[in-house]
């Protein structure tokens, strides 16, 4: 979820680019940079860390008169957050910024290197500018070279490119990642990943569609669709309130982050969930050499993701798994054996308890892996290897897309290890991969479901508590649903294995006890159904979440029929996220900043 800005005009281009990047910082970044072409000369500035570091580097830079320029805030997906990996990336006479993932960058990079091209960074982005300059040699125009570049790229990208060969033109292309072009009455042209970066500068915006590419200059804006046909920009009046623009029309960041899970999961899977295998470029297979057990360790929502992983790894990779709550592991004098791979899961990469257990594992000589959303975080820097979840910045304190991407990565990793250990047949693996690739579509919020949950939520604003129940991976999902509700509605809720209710908790069953029952069709349906019947027989108020109506339930959140239980898992996850959101809204709580909570618990 990087941020992109661009500008063509006579105004103070440095302020416009830096100001635009500042407005995009909510998208998260670990480095930033700008490139400006003024009077035929390029000036390039890059810095890691906060935007203020970039401002410091440009403090003596004051271009005058007509300029073109591009800027970028980076959220690392390929390559560490370093100045070298920061955008814009440079060829001989051109610069490029990019948001997304170039899926075929490795083969393109290899091809270009055989032609003698030298790469400076570890990023996928850099192939764009070198490919463009390679194509320039044969192309009649720079636009033709850019057009051929775009046609060669596979994956997701929003990209801006400028070249000394055409000092008044910005080339653009959009596929999968957001990009817009904007203008004002003085004919100045702006580009941005989201309109917050141009509010106050521009008055109208055109939002590019997938497949759009083209160029803009003082002579105008020239857009072409995916078939190369010219298309007219559809200028829309720009929203003028920055904060609501950051929420892009949603009431809360948490709501926005629930809705963007589809796009985000596409990024998480991109280049990894291929036709026949899972590919993790960022780890070596040797990490698993000599490993007979995997120990996951995390807190909160990340702990729930770890519990999900325990089912998947034992089922598919036939490897022993243990799951620890970090604050418990720290003080229980644990048995940490060298044939155990120690895996920490953390959105922030800074949670104190989890970080301390990582240190314990390293001190005990174990191999370590971090599954994390923030590159360059403490855990990423400390672990032997890292797999990034690519969720982009998560503003809502109550985790949603971070959890979704953690489970997706862990599911992929279970299949990766299963292949390494030859515990999964080729066609079974292909079936799992086919199912995995449907998940971005599965988590697309269904408006009908959201509307139904909005109405339903009015019935669950009181009562003496909630049970969320499920079996197998739906048990950790039940824990996660209960945590979401607790965090933002402040109502008491607990997740419980459906089969355990009869061992005590069912004593609480009465009409004031709300049970949210996860009833997947493709996993232990009959078993779970009978557990729900036990509660219904004792007059508990039951809301069933599933694809099949349950006649003894009081409420029903209908999900789509799926062929695989993990598709049901992800759709039910969205339903539980929306349920906690709508109950919290009705209670008038601060959904994004709930009381007593912090986004990252960096203290014991």
Contact residues toward ligand AGP (CB under 6 A) are: 299-302, 346-348, 351, 354, 397-399, 487, 600-601
In 466-569, beta strands by DSSP E: 466-470, 493-497, 514-518, 541-546, 555-558
Whose Cβ is closer to ligand AGP: residue 45's or residue 411's? 411
Whose Cβ is closer to ligand AGP: residue 112's or residue 404's? 404
Distance CA 172, CA 21 (A): 18
In 145-271, beta strands by DSSP E: 155-163, 170-175, 180-183, 189-192, 204-207, 213-217, 220-224, 230-231, 236-237
Whose Cβ is closer to ligand AGP: residue 114's or residue 596's? 596
Q: How far is the CB of 491 from ligand AGP (least distance, A)?
A: 15
Catalytic residue selected from 2, 299, 308, 372: 2
Catalytic residue selected from 231, 242, 454, 599: 599
Q: 340 and 314 in contact (C-beta within 8 Å)? A: no
Q: How far is the CB of 129 from ligand AGP (least distance, A)?
A: 35
Q: How far is the CB of 227 from ligand AGP (least distance, A)?
A: 43
Q: How far is the CB of 494 from ligand AGP (least distance, A)?
A: 15
Distance CA 303, CA 196 (A): 34
Counting other chains too, the contacts that 284-289 makes at CB distance below 8 Å and 24 or more residues apart are 284/385, 285/420, 287/341, 287/367, 287/369, 287/384, 287/385, 288/341, 288/417, 288/420, 288/421
Q: How far is the CB of 402 from ligand AGP (least distance, A)?
A: 6
Distance CA 371, CA 501 (A): 33
Whose Cβ is closer to ligand AGP: residue 99's or residue 301's? 301
By CB atoms closer than 10 A (0-12, 13-18, 19+), residue 205 is buried
Sequence-distant (≥ 6) Cβ neighbours of residue 500 within 8 angstroms: none
Q: How far is the CB of 366 from ligand AGP (least distance, A)?
A: 19
In the block, which residue shows the tokens 């989890």?
354
Residues written for the chain:
604
The torsion defined by the Cα of 391, 29, 157 and 102, in degrees rounded to 10, comes to -80
Distance CA 148, CA 111 (A): 16
Please give the DSSP secondary-structure letter assigned to residue 351: -
Rounded (5°) CA angle 118-124-125: 85
Catalytic (active site) residue 599: yes
Sequence-distant (≥ 6) Cβ neighbours of residue 464 within 8 angstroms: 492, 508, 512, 513
The torsion defined by the Cα of 378, 380, 382 and 384, in degrees rounded to 10, comes to 170
User: Concatenated DSSP letters for 198-220?
Assistant: TBTTBSEEEEPPTT-EEEEETTE
Whose Cβ is closer to ligand AGP: residue 270's or residue 305's? 305
Whose Cβ is closer to ligand AGP: residue 299's or residue 493's? 299
State both tokens at 449: 């479901």
Catalytic (active site) residue 297: no
Q: How far is the CB of 350 from ligand AGP (least distance, A)?
A: 7
Q: How far is the CB of 370 from ligand AGP (least distance, A)?
A: 10
Q: Which residue, judged by CB position, is nearest to ligand AGP in the bound state?
A: 300
Q: How far is the CB of 356 from ligand AGP (least distance, A)?
A: 12
Q: How far is the CB of 467 from ligand AGP (least distance, A)?
A: 19
Whose Cβ is closer to ligand AGP: residue 246's or residue 301's? 301
Distance CA 94, CA 143 (A): 13
State both tokens at 144: 């033709």
Sequence-distant (≥ 6) Cβ neighbours of residue 194 within 8 angstroms: 3, 24, 27, 178, 180, 245, 246, 248
Whose Cβ is closer to ligand AGP: residue 390's or residue 452's? 390
Whose Cβ is closer to ligand AGP: residue 147's or residue 487's? 487
Whose Cβ is closer to ligand AGP: residue 142's or residue 406's? 406
Q: 56 and 49 in contact (C-beta within 8 Å)? A: no
Distance CA 593, CA 447 (A): 25
Q: How far is the CB of 577 from ligand AGP (least distance, A)?
A: 10
Q: 469 and 496 in contact (C-beta within 8 Å)? A: yes
Using alpha carbons, list the distances in angstroms from residue 242 to 195, 248, 595.
8, 9, 25
User: Concatenated DSSP letters for 271-314?
Assistant: TTB-SSSB--TTS-GGGGTT--EEEEEE-HHHHHHHHHHHHHII
Whose Cβ is closer to ligand AGP: residue 245's or residue 305's? 305
Hey, which residues are catalytic here? 2, 599
């Amino acid at each position: 979820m990087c941020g992109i800005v661009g500008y063509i005009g006579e105004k103070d281009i440095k302020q416009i680019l830096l100001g635009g990047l500042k407005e995009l910082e909510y998208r998260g970044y670990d480095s930033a940079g700008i490139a400006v072409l003024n009077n035929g000369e390029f000036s390039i500035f890059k810095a890691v860390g906060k935007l203020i570091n970039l401002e410091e580097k440009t403090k003596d830079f004051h271009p005058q008169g007509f300029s073109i320029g591009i800027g970028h805030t980076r959220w690392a997906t390929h390559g560490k957050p370093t100045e070298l990996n920061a955008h814009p990336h440079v060829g001989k006479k051109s610069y490029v910024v990019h948001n997304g993932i170039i899926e075929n960058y490795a083969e393109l990079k290899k091809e270009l290197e055989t032609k003698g091209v030298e790469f400076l960074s570890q990023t996928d982005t850099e192939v764009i500018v070198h490919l463009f300059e390679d194509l320039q040699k044969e192309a009649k125009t720079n636009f033709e070279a850019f057009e051929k570049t775009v046609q060669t790229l596979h994956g997701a990208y929003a990209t801006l490119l400028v070249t000394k060969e055409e000092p008044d033109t910005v080339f653009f292309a959009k596929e999968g990642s957001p990009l817009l072009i904007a203008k004002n009455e003085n004919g100045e042209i702006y580009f941005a990943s989201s309109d917050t970066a141009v509010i106050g500068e521009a008055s109208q915006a055109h939002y590019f569609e997938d497949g759009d590419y083209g160029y803009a200059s003082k002579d105008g804006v020239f857009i072409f669709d995916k078939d190369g046909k010219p298309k007219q920009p559809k200028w829309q009046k720009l929203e003028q309130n920055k904060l609501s623009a950051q929420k892009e029309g949603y009431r809360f960041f948490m709501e926005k982050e629930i809705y963007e899970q589809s796009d985000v999961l596409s990024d998480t899977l991109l280049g990894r969930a291929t036709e026949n295998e899972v590919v993790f470029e960022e780890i070596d297979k040797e990490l698993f050499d000599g490993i007979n057990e995997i120990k996951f360790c995390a807190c909160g929502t990340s702990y729930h993701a770890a519990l999900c992983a325990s089912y998947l790894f034992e089922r598919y990779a036939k490897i022993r798994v243990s799951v620890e709550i970090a604050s418990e592991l720290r003080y229980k004098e644990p048995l940490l054996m060298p044939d155990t791979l120690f895996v920490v899961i953390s959105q922030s990469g800074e949670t104190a308890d989890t970080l301390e257990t990582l240190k314990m594992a390293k001190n005990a000589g174990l191999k370590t892996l971090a599954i994390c959303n923030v590159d360059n975080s403490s855990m990423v820097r400390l672990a032997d290897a890292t797999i990034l979840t690519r969720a982009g910045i998560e503003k809502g304190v109550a985790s949603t897309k971070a959890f979704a991407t953690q489970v997706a990565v862990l599911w992929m990793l279970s299949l990766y290890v299963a292949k390494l250990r030859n515990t999964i047949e080729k066609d079974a693996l292909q079936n799992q991969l086919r199912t995995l690739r449907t998940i971005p579509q599965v988590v697309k919020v269904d408006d009908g479901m959201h509307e139904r949950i909005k109405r339903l939520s009015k019935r669950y604003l009181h009562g003496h508590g909630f049970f969320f129940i499920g079996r197998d991976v739906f048990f950790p999902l039940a824990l996660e649903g209960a945590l979401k509700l607790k965090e933002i509605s402040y109502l008491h809720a607990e997740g419980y294995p459906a089969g355990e209710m009869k061992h005590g908790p069912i004593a609480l069953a009465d009409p004031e006890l709300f049970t949210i029952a996860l009833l997947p069709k493709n996993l232990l349906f009959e078993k779970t159904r009978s557990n729900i019947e036990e509660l219904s027989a004792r007059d508990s108020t039951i809301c069933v979440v599933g694809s099949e109506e349950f006649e003894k339930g009081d409420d029903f959140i209908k999900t789509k029929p799926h062929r695989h239980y993990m598709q049901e898992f992800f759709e039910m996850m969205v339903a539980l996220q929306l349920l906690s959101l709508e109950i919290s809204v009705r209670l008038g709580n601060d959904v994004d900043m709930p009381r007593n909570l912090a986004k990252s618990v960096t203290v014991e």
